[in-house]
Structures are given as structure tokens and as C-alpha cells.
Amino acid sequence: MALDNRALNKLQRGVRCLGERGFAVLTQLWRLLQHIKASPSNIGTIARAALVLTRFEHGRLK
């Protein structure tokens, strides 16, 4: 059981690392996200919009 738990934790850390890095990049590019005071559901919507705009700006969204 412990080995399965360790493998799961390692996978979760890897995914969390990508998410945290992505949000760090977005907060550096979009000042709005640094001091946002909105409900969590609205923050998610705003962050998704910022991600779409960032991907569009860098030519990764067609």
C-alpha cells in the first residue's frame, strides 16, 4: 500500500508543479491576477481568459 501511495503522491506533485508554474507565469504577465479580490469561481474564469489571451499572443492558439 505504501508504494502505491508514494507513486500517487509523486504523480500529484508533478501535476501540481505544472499548475503552479503556469499560474506564476500568468501572474507575472497579467498584473490583474497579482492582487485579485474576487470569488474563487470568478478567479478561475479570469485566469482562463488570461491563459487564452496569453496563448493567442504567443501564437499557440489558432
Half-sphere exposure of 30 (CA within 13 A, CB side): 21
**Model confidence over 6-57: pLDDT tens digits?**
889 989 998 888 878 877 888 888 887 888 888 888 888 888 888 888 888 8
Lookup: cell for 60:
499557440
Domain ranges, ordered by start, for the chain: 2-57
pTM over 0.75: no
Question: Which tens digits make up the pLDDT trace of 37-48?
Answer: 888 888 888 888
